[in-house]
Structure 1
Amino acid sequence: MTARTTRRTTAPGTRKPVTFRLAAVGAIAVAGTLLLTGCGDQTEKKSSGGGNTTDASASAGTGNKLNAMLPQNIRDKGVVRVGSDIAYPPVEFKDDSGKTVGIDPDIAAALGKELGVTFEFENGTFDTLITGLRSKRYDIAMSAMTDTRDRQNGIDSETGKKVGEGVDFVDYFTAGVSIYTKKGDDQGIKSWSDLCGKKIAVQRGTVSEDLAKAENKKCGDKGSIKIEAFDTDLEAQTRLRAGGADAGSADFPVAAYTVKKSGGGKDFQLVGEQVEAAPYGIAIAKDNTQLRDAIKAALAEIITNGEYKKVVDKWGVAEGAVTEAKVNGGS
């Protein structure tokens, strides 16, 4: 799901650290070999448009039945507009041809096949995606976004103040957060507490940034954590690669993919265990319950018919798979 497993979310809760088998990393690298020559070198700035379309067919899968569940305006257009920060491999990113690819686009394509519509991805800055839902620029936001109670209720996680009506989530994946450093130079960093007195590069508005801020409050005389937050995770990677930080952090699938791909596997290494496992959710406006329920039904269908499994197996992230479609399962 950063919470762009890459989790892009709010401040940490009380969940305990969890460890995913690193064998998944190799599968991620194999799946991505033909897609990127080095994810760390892709530093494109996001624009507000230029989306890509997933393929769908109204006659495919359970098409007619689930299509009838959609709001009339979406049925008429045949399109679901997806707000996404398309710079977060392997969750969503551009391949060498400029096509939007990754875990999220593949799941969206499978959903679209069942619903009989196309999912069109539109590139946007991660921390503006929920605002885009409010303004009806997007129908949904799908961008490794962590389902949290604060987001459900429209609460700013730092101030605790109400900032909006909140959103509903259809949860479709589970991921934790990892730290990585330059290869062969871990600076003695094995856990979040080891970051005191050091500098970390992260994507703005992600759980990685929130974890660093929370840990910083506990550093005391060990020295503060210097946090550099960037618009994209790729920019944070570039900062670390250039020696401008001691560590980086992202959702586990993203961090693992980065470690395997950047510099042919020679730039970075994972350190410590991933923590804060939580669900990624497809965000939908609170007043759009019809669309929410249609997407939930389509997700349940692709889990049952095996199309969901094909996607997570393709990207080597089966350990983050969900077994049922849930709404607002985050805490």
Structure 2
Amino acid sequence: MNQLRSILTTATLLVTACGLLAGCSNPDGSGTSAEKPASAAEATSVDEAAAAALPQSVRDKGTLVVTMSQSSPPLHFMDGNTTVGVDPELAVALGQTLGLKTEVQSGPFDGIIPGISAGKFDMAISQMSPSTERMKVLDFVDYYQSGSGIGAAPGNPQNLTPDALCGKRVGVLKGSFQDLKRVPALSAACTTTGKPAIETMTYPDMQAPSLALAAGRLDAVYVDGPTLGYAIKQGAKIELVGEKDLSPVSIGFKKGAGMEKAVQLGLEAMSKNGKYKEILDKWGVGNGAISDFAFNKAQ
């Protein structure tokens, strides 16, 4: 428990100032946790209909390899060498519902899609937005909804608002939906009206932009709302300016893999038996629960 408290304290600093078309790679030294993350709840039962909907190759393998990034508390982050948070617990529960063992592998955010395409991972549960561009290589089933959080230094000295970031230095996670869609759209709106473009600064993880904001090298951060809110609750020296773009995030898997029915039925079973909401509520993000686990619904 002391170790987890230490990790949560680190997460506070990590987002002191505080997902595309991206995904998470899993380079050497990435975190791996088998069947049960350190914080996982009790096991859930197999749903026979969901398990029967799995492709035969997945049933034969018996293991579900799930990837996610490492630094977005409370959604997914590291406790020592173990990935903990909302997403790893959902991954394990989904695997159990499908009658599979689950192996969670985590790493930087921008290698998820290449890793899935190469067969390294079966799926990503990493708050990934189901954009039309990503759908060229992945299929998606919605599992949660969240928006983007905009954070500034304490006191918001520049009086920033979510829609007034023109000409500002804004930190985002490399390859995230904020990096590839949200901030570029805001910046284009700036230049269309004759205002200066947003200066986007990308980072491989959440710690770097947090420190940059604290040091005055950034004017704002534009990241996943739950991550920003969690950091603030933990005492991070950052002020929430506002939230934008509430929309579903999805479980992604290789295009044409035939996983969608099993994943949808698995999530529906978890919703009916209470496991889905139990995990979200445990981490304080129950307001992001959804009931429509839609397939390939682009945002």
Is the shorter-chain TM-score for this pair beyond 0.5, marking a shared fold? yes
| CA distance 1:138–1:223, shift in 2 (3 Å) | same
- Match of 2:196? 223
Distance in 2 between the 1:50 and 1:205 partners? 20
Answer yes or no: is the 8 Å Cα contact 2:78–2:84 preserved in 1. Answer: yes
Unaligned regions of 5+ residues in structure 2, if any? Answer: 16-24
The alpha-carbon deviation at position 41 of structure 1 amounts to: 3.9
Answer yes or no: is the 8 Å Cα contact 1:88–1:234 preserved in 2. Answer: no
Query: Please, which of 143, 166, 169 is the counterpart of residue 172 of structure 1?
Result: 143
Unaligned regions of 5+ residues in structure 1, if any? Answer: 1-31, 155-165
- Secondary structure at the aligned position of 1:121 is classed as strand
Structure holding more strand per residue: 2
- TM-score (norm. length: structure 2): 0.84
Q: Does 1:87 align with 2:59?
A: no
The alpha-carbon deviation at position 117 of structure 1 amounts to: 1.3
Answer yes or no: is the 8 Å Cα contact 2:67–2:106 preserved in 1. Answer: yes
Answer yes or no: is the 8 Å Cα contact 2:14–2:211 preserved in 1. Answer: no
Cα-to-partner distance string for 1:89-142 (whole Å, 9 max, x where unaligned): 1111112x3321111111112112211212212123322211211111111111
Answer yes or no: is the 8 Å Cα contact 1:50–1:122 preserved in 2. Answer: yes
RMSD of equivalent CA atoms? 2.4
The alpha-carbon deviation at position 65 of structure 1 amounts to: 4.7
Q: Percent of pairs identical after alignment?
A: 32
Query: Please, which of 148, 151, 159 is the counterpart of residue 188 of structure 1?
Result: 159
- Secondary structure at the aligned position of 1:256 is classed as helix
Distance in 1 between the 2:272 and 2:195 partners? 51
Answer yes or no: is the 8 Å Cα contact 2:47–2:266 preserved in 1. Answer: no
- TM-score (norm. length: structure 1): 0.77
Answer yes or no: is the 8 Å Cα contact 1:176–1:276 preserved in 2. Answer: yes
Query: Please, which of 170, 176, 197 is the counterpart of residue 206 of structure 1?
Result: 176
Distance in 1 between the 2:223 and 2:54 partners? 34
- Match of 2:100? 117
Answer yes or no: is the 8 Å Cα contact 1:279–1:330 preserved in 2. Answer: no
Count of residue correspondences: 278
Paired residue type of 2:244: V
- Match of 1:159? none
- Match of 1:308? 276
1:180-329 alignment, distance < 5 Å: 180-192=151-163, 194-209=164-179, 210-220=181-191, 221-261=194-234, 264-265=235-236, 267-272=237-242, 274-289=243-258, 291-329=259-297
| CA distance 1:293–1:34, shift in 2 (3 Å) | farther
Answer yes or no: is the 8 Å Cα contact 1:174–1:322 preserved in 2. Answer: yes
Distance in 1 between the 2:182 and 2:156 partners? 22
- Secondary structure at the aligned position of 1:36 is classed as helix
Paired residue type of 1:51: T
- Match of 1:37? 9
| CA distance 1:171–1:70, shift in 2 (3 Å) | same
Answer yes or no: is the 8 Å Cα contact 2:144–2:249 preserved in 1. Answer: yes
